[in-house]
Structures are given as structure tokens and as C-alpha cells.
Amino acid sequence: MLKIGINASFLRKQDAGIGQVTVNFLQKLIELESGKNPGKKVEFFLYLEEDAKLKLPKNTASSKVKFHKRIFLPVYKRDDLIRKIWWEKYLLPKKVRQDGCDVFLSLYQSTTILPKKIKHLMLVHDIIPKIFPQYLNNFRKKLYQELVEDAIKTVAKIITVSHRSEKDLIKHLCVDPKKITVSYIDVDQIYKRKVSDSESKIVLKKYKLEAGYIYSGGGLEVRKNVESVVRAYKKLLERNFKTKTIPKLVISGRLLPQLVPLTTDVKKLVEELGLKNQVVILGYVPQADLPAIYNNAKLFVYPSLYEGFGLPVLEAMSQGVPVVTSKTSSLPEVGSDSVLYCDPSKIEDIVMVMKNVLSNEHLQAALSLKGKERAARFSWEQFTRKMLNIIDELK
């Protein structure tokens, strides 16, 4: 019986990008594997730090495909980097060996190193701390990053989510290109469905919004470049078109104290620029509300300085929202010719592109249609099948 282990730790954080990848991959894996009748029996072991909602098929004596959960934590249970290293680097490999796994899949870049007889695949979303060393602002973060880089270099195969991340791995970590496979991810299923009028009314009322705003979401990290969005918006107001009024700017994202100074204090910035009456700051928005937030926007602006993939852009496209984003990193891979691009380092360029969209209804309609068509080309089934094909090659 083939035994496949999976680090599914991020099931406990399903609102996070890696959490979305984890839950959607596993759901599609269960669907694909449970629906076939393999000649060879397969067991999947899902390793978790905490239990999480995921419906597994019932294992019976006659089941050829079985799924098991393994939930465990170190004695030290605080959710920080000490626990993360302890769990990934020491406890997890021990459990994998005990279960006799032949293949192991890490669904994010981690510190896990396994014996060579266990074929280890690692999904590397990005190596942002290597490219932006300011993220490594204490000893624990530096240690964790060093351990992650060591682990990446030991795995049998790397799957990454964009050609930009592939190039970064080759350039910054000297990874053999032959070890890397690129496979695009998709958005959560919640963004695929049509938002009803009643749902829109409920969400707009909850956040005291009127449809037709400019939206900027995806986090307040400095590299997300929200500051440039606010400053560009200020210039738009100052140069107000004679025939159009500028919609309000809506910003979502949580200001996490532990990430200061790596996050933008958007509330302070808005006050300094005298924009309190024109900018709405939502703070953290749960994923359940995000489709309606996107759907009711006239424009989504995301001039990020760097992305390993860029899920917010694909989320907006899936809801048919015109998108302005950066012509840097992986974002052109996601948007292709279905979005408009700006130079994220030049506020004047962001202003110009935003103005072009806001002043042209035909352009808005074209971007909405092309964005939906482009978004439909991304697929969890394609991603999952590609992962399974790699496992078949290694086993």
C-alpha cells in the first residue's frame, strides 16, 4: 500500500492564502481519489496542529483509498515560531516515519527535512523574506528562514505557483531548475459564484458602503503598496474630472502590531492627508464577505511591489471587477491582457491608469468581461492533477 503524508497545518487558517490553497487542494484531492478505483491501495495521512473542518470519506475494510488525520502539538503550545519549528522540524518527521510514508507533500515552504528514502515534495509559494530582508527583523525570523532554505535545498521536487517564484528560487537559492515545476493555483470556490442582490445589500449595510467605490484589499504590508494607492487617490481628488465625481476609496486589511514597521498605518496616513471623509477603512474583513466587497466595487487597485502569485487580483477578476495592478513580479502571469498595469513605484502612473478606467465605462465593461474569462482558466483540478502526476513520477 502506497502511503502519502501531507503537511496540512494551514487548514486551521483557511482565510489566509496558504490556508485557501490547503483546503481547496485537499477537497479536490479527496474528490479525485475517492472517485476512482485504483489497482493499488493508497493511504493519505494529513498532519495537523489543530483539528479543522474537512469532510473525509469513511474508511472501511474494503476501501482502496483511505484518509487519516494526525493531530499533535509539542508541550509548548503558544502559536509562534518556536512552536512552528518544533512541530515542523522535529515532531512532524517523527510521525511521518512512524506512519511509514513513502511520499511526503509539504503544502508550504517549511523547515521539514526527511530521510532520502521518503520522497519529499514541497510547494513553495514565494521566498519573500529572502528578497525583502527587512521581514527578518529578529533572531527567530532569521533562524526560521535559514531552516526553511536548508529544507528547500533537500527536497526531491519543488512545486511553485508562478514562473516569477521559479526564477527567484534559481537566482537566490541556486535551486536546480530540473527540480522545479510551476503549477498555478486558483481562488477559493466562494469567489466563483455570483453574488446575489440580497447578499450585496446585507454586506454593504454591514460596512456602511454604497456600491461603486474604488477598492484596495489584500493586506497592509508595506510591499502591498497601499500607501501609494492612498497618495494616488489624493491626487485624483485634487484633479477631479469636470464630468465625473471620484468614488470613495475603500481599504481592507488588518494592522498587525507584530509586523510593525512592515505594515502601513493606513489610518494615520489618511488622517495626515485629510481624507477621512473620502476613505473608508474596513479593517479585517472575513472571507465570507469578500466576494460582495469585490463585486460592488467599480475598480480594484493592487499596485503590489512583489507577489509570489497574487490571489487578490484573481479574486477580483473572478467577480468581474476591473483591475489595476503592477507590471512586476508574478502579477502579469495572473492578469495577462485582462487587467491594466501600472508602475507601482510611480504614483503619477497609478493616478493615470486609475483615471483612465474611472472615466471610461466601455473600458470598465471590457475589463470586467476579459477578467472573468481569464479567471476561468485557473483550476484546482488542474493544480491537483499536476501534483498527483508528480507524486506518481516519484513513488
What would the DSSP string read from start to end of 107-121? SS--S----TTSEEE
- Give the E-state strand segments of the chain in sequence order: 2-7, 42-48, 65-71, 103-106, 119-124, 157-160, 180-182, 213-216, 249-252, 279-283, 297-302, 323-326, 340-342
Tell whether the model's pLDDT for residue 199 goes beyond 50. Answer: yes
Instruction: Provide mean pLDDT across the span 180-197.
Output: 95
| Beta pairing partners, 324 | 301, 340
- Structural domain including 240 reads 189-375
Tell whether the model's pLDDT for residue 1 goes beyond 70. Answer: yes
The answer on 216 and 168 residing in a single domain is no
The answer on 384 and 322 residing in a single domain is no
The answer on 236 and 123 residing in a single domain is no
| pLDDT value of residue 243 | 44
pLDDT band at 380 (very low <50, low <70, confident <90, very high): very high
The answer on 371 and 384 residing in a single domain is no
pLDDT band at 277 (very low <50, low <70, confident <90, very high): very high
The answer on 208 and 146 residing in a single domain is no
| pLDDT value of residue 59 | 87
The answer on 166 and 52 residing in a single domain is yes
Instruction: Provide mean pLDDT across the span 158-178.
Output: 97
- Work out the number of other CB atoms within 10 angstroms of the CB of residue 290: 22
The answer on 321 and 173 residing in a single domain is no
Instruction: Provide mean pLDDT across the span 258-285.
Output: 89
Q: pLDDT digit string (tens) for 118-153?
A: 999 999 999 999 999 988 888 999 999 999 999 999
| pLDDT value of residue 244 | 61
Q: pLDDT digit string (tens) for 284-314?
A: 999 999 999 999 999 999 999 999 999 999 9
Instruction: Provide mean pLDDT across the span 39-52.
Output: 90
Q: Check whether the bond before 261 is cis (ω within 30° of 0).
A: yes
| pLDDT value of residue 261 | 66
Instruction: Provide mean pLDDT across the span 68-76.
Output: 94
Instruction: Provide mean pLDDT across the span 369-385.
Output: 97
Cβ-based burial of 32 (10 A; exposed 0-12, middle 13-18, buried ≥19): middle
The answer on 275 and 156 residing in a single domain is no
The answer on 10 and 102 residing in a single domain is yes
The answer on 293 and 218 residing in a single domain is yes
Which residues fall within 8 angstroms of residue 163, CB to CB, at 6 or more apart? 182, 330, 333
The answer on 216 and 154 residing in a single domain is no
Instruction: Provide mean pLDDT across the span 113-117.
Output: 96
Asked if 70 and 95 touch (Cβ cutoff 8 Å), the reply is: yes
pLDDT band at 239 (very low <50, low <70, confident <90, very high): confident
The answer on 80 and 154 residing in a single domain is yes
Instruction: Provide mean pLDDT across the span 197-222.
Output: 96
Instruction: Provide mean pLDDT across the span 89-104.
Output: 97
Instruction: Provide mean pLDDT across the span 8-23.
Output: 92
Chain-centroid distance of CA 38 in Å reads 32
Radius of gyration for the chain, computed over Cα atoms and rounded to the nearest angstrom: 22
Tell whether the model's pLDDT for residue 242 goes beyond 90. Answer: no
How many domains would you assign to the chain?
Answer: 2
| pLDDT value of residue 103 | 97
Q: What is the CATH number of the domain that holds 98?
A: 3.40.50.2000
| pLDDT value of residue 259 | 62
Tell whether the model's pLDDT for residue 46 goes beyond 90. Answer: yes
pLDDT band at 37 (very low <50, low <70, confident <90, very high): low
* pTM attached to this predicted model: 0.93
Residue 33, SS3?
helix
What percentage of the chain has pLDDT greater than the value 90?
A: 83
